[in-house]
Structure 1
């Protein structure tokens, strides 16, 4: 198809009812703007970026309700609260969807105090970070979602609703690129600051559940304890996403189940770390940040502040590594 024909086709699409939450149509595409995009890589690239860069179509927002729990150091539930959050559904095809929760912008203290059990120098110095709003996967990417976008499923612990695992950082980035191309929205891995901000959900305790966690609240090696809670189960496998209570933002499985890739390069500490929530990639090397702990880890590695790293392509034994995605649409 010629550039002129493609331009006229896209203008026709632009005149259709928008379907966005505001009910208004995006502005017409300027011919010069179209040609700039076309010159970057042909009409295929135009099709990919039109909705994210030119139209700026906002997805239809839905609302869901959920309950959070807080525990004391013995693991006893001391508070339960009802919350609601906004999200949008991304249609991946074949009846498979991806739920993206709106995370409001805000400030938080990143890292942990030296008094926190499990503290390490890599979690210091604590520093305030201002994070713009974004949208984040309600769950880690599942095996059926990964199969739909990538055409394969590398996971050891098979299950459509279980997290995809045994994925390298490069695999996760490729998933984001293909998802962006398919949907016309910009998807990527979260920055490390976005991940911790989203995990905490406004809390300052070691876990978003409070002073500790239990195996009624997360999937980890429950034969070890963190505070004064009783020992629990050790499943030695992943569980379906959403099997445990969410945090106050409406995000599930932020503690345990699988480690989650971040976009950032690994740094040994937070000296000179960005304070605006952005990705930190100033360090040379091929090691990338992992967050959240897994079903194989003891609880101290599942804390909100806990961090480690792995390499870009090594996945031979990593059936405990998955990822969730971030979308820049709908910043608040």
Structure 2
């Protein structure tokens, strides 16, 4: 495995950087790595050395800023070039310098911008000739050392200010590589955070916490003055404070959280006709929008108010692994929902099902907070009828296929509501079969409790994976290319195929995308099929 794999990132800037670094690694050319503090310059230097012909030789790091304090000119020379016995007071024996110690290998000058001006001419001579002179000696010795340097400041500006030699700068700047600050590679933040959280969890031998969609959004919006080092430190803190939980935005330090003025406010014309609804025992507004809770025989089901709007339904032609079955097209077309609706924030739990139906058909029945499964579309209709009779004002139903995908996407057009890729820390699916050539991950081989994994941007949990979810519609082979409003397809024939969305716990990565759709007979039931309620 390439050592460059340690430099995580999917952003174009990182791909270009790694491509250049691979090329220079195979040579002995001098490299100058530029980047702000905390961007990973030492990690990149180490990867270059480990991929070079000198991989099995010495790699020595010299932090010029750390050495700067309190060292005299002679002491600097001694550290770099060595000294002979009696060269100065205290030189009681010969000493090998760092450059000679790196002979045959690589010497990394970290923060070379802090190299004192008085030592720079001698470093320049070493770079140009490969020769060094120990303090107190009169004979030069030769070394074969590859040099990599790093700076966290603009050396051009230091040259202009007279604090860095121009000729030394030119000698170092043979191949410049620039690491972008984290604020310029926001798409890499979820990947890096996920990696750090997993690493720290493994260190402590406990389950890693998972960032909610809202928490990830706040991390992406943050300026990151300390770059990757600051993100790593944050992940260590979160791992200690919240092991094995979903990290919401309120769990982040105050500097990451938005002011109250930036929270969601809902236009009155988009509100439900009545709020709070008469069936609600608890209600309110949070960062996701309006919510109301149904309390039924000790079970609590929270519903989210989904605002009306338009979205692109289906998958774009360029999406990897689209339309795995010819009989279930994902044709890309514009859909408008003119009315808002209430949607359960989780799949129906076994606890709620059993409270209504007095039995539990589920295979994975070890926890009442797991989603109910092994339920057919017909049985779900019986559940809805029974619940509606006992709570007459509820008007429960299944969501339409368009409503389901609109809510799942939560304003996104990517393959998943979390972006173009997923991990098992976000979605419960078959991690042995990742999406579009991604990395393998955990395969749980069972359902998980609802709200175990992060919510999407609208506060809805596990819409990808865990269990397939029934929709109200008849399952059409192709939804067409025309723009449509409020589609709900042919409910007159109760025996026709119905639509399932979202994928299940054993589905491979391509089968838990936002656009994935399958059709099954309404009496079909298996251990990865459940549902979530809609109201209105």
Same fold (TM over 0.5): yes
Corresponding residue number in structure 2 for 1:109:
312
Cross-structure match for 1:172: 380
Matches within 5 A, 1:113-124: 113-120=316-323, 122-124=328-330
Aligned to 1:303: 513
**Is the Cα–Cα contact under 8 Å of residues 310 and 336 in structure 2 kept in the other structure?**
yes
Counterpart of 2:288? 84
Q: Does 1:142 align with 2:346?
A: no
Runs of 4+ in 1 over 6 A off after TM superposition: none
Please tell me whether the aligned partners of residues 334 and 482 of structure 2 are also in contact (alpha carbons under 8 angstroms). no
Matched, 1:209 2:412: no
CA displacement at 1:196 relative to structure 2: 0.2
Compute the displacement of 1:266 (Å): 0.9
More moved, 272-281 vs 168-177: 272-281
Say whether the 8 Å CA contact 1:259–1:320 is kept in structure 2: yes
**Where do residues 216-235 of structure 1 align in structure 2 (5 Å cutoff)?**
216-227=425-436, 229-235=438-444
Residues 279 and 394 in structure 2, CA contact (< 8 A), matched pair in contact too: no
Which residue in the other structure is 2:303 paired with? 100
Report the CA distance between 1:85 and its aligned residue: 2.6
Rounded to whole Å, the distance in 1 between the matches of 2:363 and 2:331 is: 37
Distance, in Å, in 1 between the alignment partners of 2:369 and 2:509 is: 24
Shift of 1:197: 0.2
Aligned residues: 255
User: In the superposition, relative to structure 1, how do residues 134 and 272 fare at CA in structure 2: closer, same or farther (>3 Å)?
Assistant: same
Q: Is the 8 A contact 1:61 1:86 kept in 2?
A: no
Cα offset, 1:269, TM superposition: 0.5
1:7-46 map, 5 Å: none
Q: Which of these residues, 466, 485, 488, is aligned with residue 279 of structure 1?
A: 488
Question: Structure 1: which 5+ runs fail to align?
Answer: 1-51, 66-82
Q: Counterpart in 2 of 1:185?
A: 394
The alpha-carbon deviation at position 270 of structure 1 amounts to: 0.9
Give the structure-1-normalised TM-score. Answer: 0.72
2:353 is paired with a residue whose SS is helix
TM-score normalised to the size of structure 2? 0.45
Partner SS state of residue 466, structure 2: coil
Cα contact 2:280–2:295 (8 A) shared by 1: no
Hey, what does 2:476 align to over in structure 1? Answer: 267
Query: Cα RMSD (Å) of the superposition?
Result: 2.2
* Structure that is richer in strand per residue: 1
Within the candidate set 461, 469, 473, 1:252 is matched to 461
Q: Deviations over 1:184-235 (max 9, x none)?
A: 2200001000000000000000000001110010100000121453210111
- C-alpha separation in 2, matches of 1:274 and 1:92: 39
> What are the Cα deviations for residues 25-53 of structure 1, in whole angstroms up to 9, with x where unaligned?
xxxxxxxxxxxxxxxxxxxxxxxxxxx9x
Mapped to 1, the partners of 2:290 and 2:524 lie a distance apart of 36
Q: Indicate the SS of the match to 1:123.
A: coil
- Select the structure that is richer in helix: 2
Structure 1 match to 2:500: 290
Distance, in Å, in 2 between the alignment partners of 1:148 and 1:282 is 28
The whole-number CA distance in structure 2 between the counterparts of 1:287 and 1:225 is 29
Shift of 1:154: 0.2
1:279, distance to aligned residue in structure 2 (A): 2.0
Larger relative contact order (CA 8 Å, sep ≥ 6): 1
The 1:314–1:274 alpha-carbon spacing in structure 2 relative to 1, beyond 3 Å, is farther
Q: Which has the larger radius of gyration?
A: 2
Aligned partners of 1:265 and 1:283 also within 8 Å: no
Shift of 1:236: 1.0
- Residue range with higher mean Cα deviation, 206-215 or 119-128: 119-128
Aligned with residue 368 of structure 2, among 145, 157, 160:
160
